[in-house]
Structures are given as structure tokens and as C-alpha cells.
Structure 1
Amino acid sequence: MRTKILTVVATVFTMVAFAQKAEIKAADKALKGGDAAAAKAALEGAAGTISGADDKVKAQYHFLRGKAYADLANKGDATAFDEAVKSFREVISLEEKSGKAKYTNETEQRLAAISADLVNAAVDDNNNKKFKEAAEKLYMSYKISPKDTSYLYYAASSAVNGGHYDMALGYYDELKAVGYDGGGIAYKATNVATGEVETMDKTQRDLYVKSGSYSDPVDEKLPSKTAEIVKNMALIYTQTGQNDKAFEAFKEARASNPDDVNLVLSEANLYYQTGDKDKFKELMAEAASMAPDNPDLHYNIGVINMEQGNMEEARASYKKALEVDPGYVNAQLNLSTTYVNEGNGLIDEMNNLGNSRADIARYDELKQKKDDLFLEGAGILEEALKTNPDNQGILSQLKNIYGALGDNENFMRIKKLLGE
């Protein structure tokens, strides 16, 4: 009796193996005919029993399954990417274990193709503001090729753009864990035939230049993205009410990158957003000392000093900005405004004076001082007008100053320039 039972069981296994091979063969035939859906259906028929097959059959099954899902993904089924990747990875794992790499080489090529398809699909998703989908595709592309950490960086950026902050933080944490910097060197040269500047790897670029088909090689240094990543993480923490984590992120980043002025600026901005303007001013001054030729730094220091009523410090900062960039219109406008605001500050005292001889004398003194301040502000803008004759901001502010001074001639001149 025992022998008969064993014979029946063996027969059942033979029938299962036969069915598997038939379904796998049908899937292969369907793929060759371009019918990925039929191939998928045939493989689903073998799915329930494939775990009992030998590694050779499993590798073939997963290879065909990967091809079927990859084809479906290319035809618009975005959900099929994940299944294709899973099956192709299983092929590589099985053949590594068995030591027989029949499908591995082609599988790796197909995974590289899927990675490229995912990136292209993510670009389309981003353009259509489908940021979560874009982030997921870019992350999957990174998992296919972990050396391409830029895909993980762009996945985080897409998540941030879509407001998917938890997802973005997860990606940023991974970037930190792998030591992603984002900097490096871009090797560029000009295509002699088209005149276009192209980026390529160094070996290829140097060969093309040597052949004469490209010229003007340039090694362009790419800045580190560390500051941007930390800034985004800190902003997410801030928006989610986790200010302590935000400040800790900057502390950690600055300890590792003490000379990165962008980190100082981002930290200063966080203090500004949280209402600590004294700390903001301190950090801006630190940044200005690190990058004295950056006019925006001096301008922003001027803005915060002006908001706090420190007119002399504000003027000094605006003047530094103009030393670096003489045509910095906003610095010119704000420098003028410091004098106008100071002049306006005298008007209340003038209006509160009485009619005594001492009050009249004081009134005249204050009026002269006010007018001198207004004229100082006007002079700055008249100088600015020489290089920006059509700037509406400059013209409007000048018109208001001359109107307040009672200078009708200049008031009408500026009004005419405004086209009023």
C-alpha cells in the first residue's frame, strides 16, 4: 500500500512540473509575440506552484515575469514597475546562489533600462505636479542602482515640492546615512559641429577633445548640496512644530561644514522665522564676514537693522552692499528710506510745539533737519536714476520726497518721467 501511495504522489509532482513548463512556455511565446498581458496571465497560472520548482525553473519564471511587467509598465501601467523590479532582482539572487548566470547579464541590462524609464516617468509626473508619484519612481530607481544617489536626492526634492514631508524626511535621512554630498566636478566641452556645450565623463570628454570633435574643455565644480538638504530638513521640522530638531540639524551640519556660508544663512533665516531677530542679525554678520563680497548679505543685515530702528547700522550695511554692487536698486531705495524715515520721525515733535519764540525756533531747527534728511534721501535716488532712468520704484519714491519738501519743480519733473 505504501508503494502505491508514493507512486501516486510522484505522478502528481510530474503533472505539476509539466503544467509549470507549459505555462512558462506559453508566457515566453506571448512575450515574443508582443502580448505582455497574455504572458502575465500564463505566469499567474504557474505562480501557485513555482515555489516548489528548482532554481533553474524559478529563474526562468522570474525572468519572463520581469519582462512581462516591464513591458506593461512601458505601456502605461505605472504600478507594474515595482513587480518587474522584484522579479528581476529574484533572478539575480537565484543565479548568484546557484552559480549559473544564464539570465543575469540581460536582467541587469533590463534593470538599467527600467531605471531610465522610471526617471523619465518621474519627470513627467513632476511636470504634471504628481509629486508623490514622481518621488516614488525616483526612489525605486535609486533602489535599483544604489550608486546613483542623485536619484534619492531628487526623490526627496519631489516629496518636498508635493508637501509630503514625512516621505521627504525619510529620504533625507537616507542621504545623510550614505554620506551624500552632491558636489563634484562636471566635465564639459563644446561640440565643434553644433556649438553646444555638453557634459560627459572625463575620459570621454578628453578623448573627444583630443580627436578635435570637441573644444574648450572646462572642469566645472559643482557645489555641495549639504546646506540645501539640512535647510529643507530644518524647514520641515519648523513647519511641523519641531523647532528643536531644526536647530539641532543646523548644529550638526555646521559642525561638519564650518566654512559653508549657505548653512549660516539658512540657520539665520530659521531664527528670523521663529522671531529671534537678534540671533538672526548675529548670524548674518557672521555670514557677511565669511563672504564679504556678497551684496545680498549686507542688504539683508540692513533690512533687519532698519526693522529694529537701528538706522546708522542699516545705512552702513546698505552702503557695503552698494560698494560691492553699485547698481543694487533695493539697497539704494532702502538707504534713501532710512533718511526719509528719520525725517518723518521729527514731524510729531514739530506738530506738538507751541507758538512761543523758543518753540518757533525749535520748529525751524527741526524743519531744517527734516528737509536735510529728505534731500539726502533724494540725492541717493537721483544718483540711482542715472543708471536706472525707468525704474518705477525710484521715480515714485523721489516724487513723494519732492512732494513732502514742497519742491514743485522737481515734483513735476519726476511726475512727467512717471508718465502721469
Structure 2
Amino acid sequence: MKRLIALSVACLLAFAVSAQKKPKINQAEKLRLEGKLGEAKEIIDAAAEFEKTKIDGKTWYYRGLIYAALDTTSNPTYKNLASDPLKTAMESFKKADELQKGSSEYYISGPGGLPQLKSQQVQGLWGYYLNKGVEAFQADNKEDALVWLNKTKVVSPKDTTGYIYAGSIALAAEKYDEAAENYYALINDLDFHSKDAYNSLIYIEGSINKDNEKSLEIIRQAKVKFPENLDFAKSEVATLIRMGKSEEAKDGLVAAIAKEPSNAALHFQLGIMEEELGNIEEAKAAYVKATEVDPDYFNAAFNIAVLYYNEAVNLITEKNNLGISKADIAKAKEMQTEIDTKLKKALPFWEKVLELQPEERTALETLQYIYLQEKEYDKAEEVKARLEALPEKEEG
């Protein structure tokens, strides 16, 4: 008798399994469009387990749409139906692609009966999160902005936009680890190289994390990508000096110059290092060498012009602070001779700077002053006219 009862139960269970209805995936999609996300989720989850529908790519396509709707809905009833609906949505879209047969893309009918392709819907989802992130940032809600922007990376992990915005906002919010994560992803994983990304990482590693070795590594990567960038060269020098490796750096540059004496950039970098170390005469010599190798090297001409001019300005300040005693008057006379010498040495370099960049305001202003000091009034007037013809300087 017991055996008969057991067999009866087994038969009933078998009947129940065989009688299980095939989930209607089209009904799930219809419910999604009607905003009935709870019912839609129930059907599509069942379809993802049912033997015949779980191997149908359309099941997973609809599941992606339904879970994406769960993530974007503002209806509190559906907010907690899934722990990470966006992740589930993107995994479902991926599964749909794996099961796709033929070259035609998944789609649904949109307004007017026009097809909405899966790729368009995913792009729209990405745009939705990006816009929400921008809106939150504009409302000065950095926390929410980062949440939204991080979702753009889930939807489109190869698109750099979300990483750029998230890195910038995280940096502004002083979330340095999160900012660094975004910037490292850009330069290491996405092959996206910008000066801002490198400068942010240099700042985070050097100034926040106090990791000079890591900061130096990033600086040198940046120099490879932007060999003409003056700021990265200066950052390298400053970091090496901070690390107590100034002589090592200098020796390396000298060795490199010995191998490539016609490389003006190397002479220029040596000039920067000497200047940072306070070796002004050596810096001048290096800058001059750079201009001899490459007469059109703007930065070298500018730097040496500034050095000579600043020396003259320092002397002028000292002279103006002298008294009216005989000794002071005599000293002022001697100093004026030295001032004139410095200005004359600076003059050809400033003229070269202006030749290379005819609208360089600093060069024009400085030359006007030097010409007046040298009593070259015609040239001073000419420079003044060029200055007045420049666009108004923006306040910043």
C-alpha cells in the first residue's frame, strides 16, 4: 500500500512538471511597455529557466530590457525587485548576443512602428545615465553624479566619456582613489591619453598619496606621449629633486646629450634642471645651447630671455631702494651699468620670442620697456601699437 502511494505521488509530480506552461516572453515585453515591471520580471525570470525559452536569444534580449527598466524606473514599487538590475540587464544583453542567429539585430517596434534596434536602446540607456550624471553635477550633487556616471561604464565599458567625467568629479569631490581608478582605466585600459588625465594622476600620486616613485613613473609616461610639453619636464625635475635624485637626473641628461648633441629638447631639459637647482648660469648656458641647435626653439628662447630680464628687474628693485648718500648714488650708477648689460643680453632673445610668436603679449610688453630704457623710442612706439592691436586680455 505504501509503495502504491509513493508511486502515485511520483506520478503526480511528473505530471506537474510536464504540465508546466511555457513562459510567454512576448507577454513579458508587453507588460514592460505597460509599466507593469513586477509581472514582466516574474515571467521573464521563469523564461530564463525554462528549457525551451532559455536557449532563445530573444528571451535574454527582453530580460535585458526589463531589468534596464527596473534600474531606471522612478516607481518605488519596483526599485527593490532586483539587487543589481543594470548588471543583470547587461549580462542578459550579452547572453542574447551569444545566442543570436544570423546577422539581423534584435529590435522592438517603436513609435510609428519604426524598429528600435538593441544597439540603439543600449546607446539610449548610456545617454540616459550620462545626462543624469551631468544634471546631478550641475546641481552640485557630486555623490549622485558619480553613481550615474559609473552606470555609463557598466553599459559601455569602452566609451571614455563616463571615465573622463567620473574622474573629474571624483577629483573635485576629493575622492582621490576613485578619481585615480578612472584615470588609470583611461590611460592603461582604453588607450586614451590626455594631459588632464596625466596631470591628475601626477597630483594624486605625488601630492595626495606622497608616492614619488609612482608619480615619477606617470610623469615619464606623460613625457613619452607629450614630448614637447614643458610642464611634464618641469614636474620630472621637481620630483627628482624632491626625491634627492637631482644628480642622478642631471647625469642622465648629460649622458643623453653626449649621445644626441643635436637634440635641442635635451639641452632645454638640462636648462630646466639647472634652473630648479638654482644654477642660473648653467641654466642659461643650456638654454643658449638649445637655441644654437634649434634657432626656432621657442621655449628655450623664452626661458633665457626671462632669466636675463628677471636679473635686471632684481637689480632695478635693489637700486630703487638705495638712499641719497654719495655712496648710494655711486652704487646706483654702477648698478645702472649692470642693468643695461642685462637688458641688452635679454633683448635679442625677446626679439626672437616675438619673431616666433608675433602676438606674444609678454614679449611685446617686455620689449616696449627695454626699448624705452635703451632710448630706442621708434621701436618702443612700434611695439606699443602692436600691443594695442591685440584682442582684449580675458580676465581669469
Report the TM-score when normalising by structure 2: 0.59
Q: 1:382 to 1:140 in 2, by over 3 A?
A: closer
Q: Which runs of 5+ in 1 are unaligned?
A: 94-102, 143-150, 183-223
Counterpart residue number, 2:169:
162
Count, aligned residues: 346
Q: 1:393, CA displacement in angstroms?
A: 1.8
Counterpart Cα distance in 1 of 2:368 and 2:149: 51
Counterpart Cα distance in 2 of 1:368 and 1:131: 62
What per-residue deviation string (whole Å, max 9, x for no partner) do you get for residues 62-96 of structure 1? 7424235348859x959975333222455688xxx
Counterpart residue number, 1:55:
51
SS at match of 2:253: helix
1:373 to 342, 354, 358: 342
Counterpart residue number, 1:85:
90
Counterpart Cα distance in 1 of 2:287 and 2:166: 38
The 5 A counterparts of 1:252-401 are 269=235, 272=238, 276=242, 279=245, 283=249, 286=253, 289=257, 299=268, 301-303=270-272, 305-306=274-275, 308-323=277-292, 326-329=295-298, 331-346=300-315, 348=318, 351=322, 355=326, 364-386=333-355, 388-401=357-370
Give aligned-pair identity as a percent.
19
Counterpart Cα distance in 1 of 2:326 and 2:366: 33
SS at match of 2:101: helix
Q: 1:396, CA displacement in angstroms?
A: 0.9
Q: 1:22 to 1:409 in 2, by over 3 A?
A: closer
Counterpart Cα distance in 2 of 1:388 and 1:328: 11
Counterpart Cα distance in 1 of 2:185 and 2:363: 49
Q: 1:266, CA displacement in angstroms?
A: 5.1
Q: 1:377, CA displacement in angstroms?
A: 1.8
Counterpart residue number, 1:66:
61
Aligned residues of 1:122 and 1:138 also touching (Cα < 8 A): no
1:236 to 182, 185, 204: 204
Q: 1:227 to 1:278 in 2, by over 3 A?
A: farther
Letter in 2 for 1:378: L
SS at match of 1:55: coil
Counterpart Cα distance in 2 of 1:323 and 1:131: 51
Q: 1:167, CA displacement in angstroms?
A: 4.1
Q: 1:160 to 1:286 in 2, by over 3 A?
A: farther
Are residues 1:137 and 2:133 paired? Answer: no
Q: 1:168 to 1:295 in 2, by over 3 A?
A: farther
Deviating more after overlay: 300-309 vs 124-133: 124-133
Q: 1:154 to 1:310 in 2, by over 3 A?
A: same
Letter in 1 for 2:238: Y
Q: 1:174 to 1:108 in 2, by over 3 A?
A: farther
What per-residue deviation string (whole Å, max 9, x for no partner) do you get for residues 372-403 of structure 1? 22122234334544565554322211222344
What per-residue deviation string (whole Å, max 9, x for no partner) do you get for residues 73-127 of structure 1? 59x959975333222455688xxxxxxxxx4436996599379737973996598
Q: 1:91 to 1:418 in 2, by over 3 A?
A: closer
Report the TM-score when normalising by structure 1: 0.57
Q: 1:141 to 1:318 in 2, by over 3 A?
A: same
Letter in 2 for 1:105: K
Q: 1:91 to 1:378 in 2, by over 3 A?
A: closer
Aligned residues of 1:268 and 1:280 also touching (Cα < 8 A): no
Q: 1:243, CA displacement in angstroms?
A: 1.4
**RMSD of Structure 2 on Structure 1 (CA):** 5.6
Aligned residues of 2:25 and 2:43 also touching (Cα < 8 A): yes
Are residues 1:121 and 2:116 paired? Answer: no
Aligned residues of 2:63 and 2:92 also touching (Cα < 8 A): no
Aligned residues of 2:129 and 2:148 also touching (Cα < 8 A): no
What per-residue deviation string (whole Å, max 9, x for no partner) do you get for residues 267-325 of structure 1? 86266269729746864873974887776665565455446543322323333443465
Counterpart Cα distance in 1 of 2:310 and 2:373: 12
Counterpart residue number, 1:203:
none
Q: 1:80 to 1:366 in 2, by over 3 A?
A: same
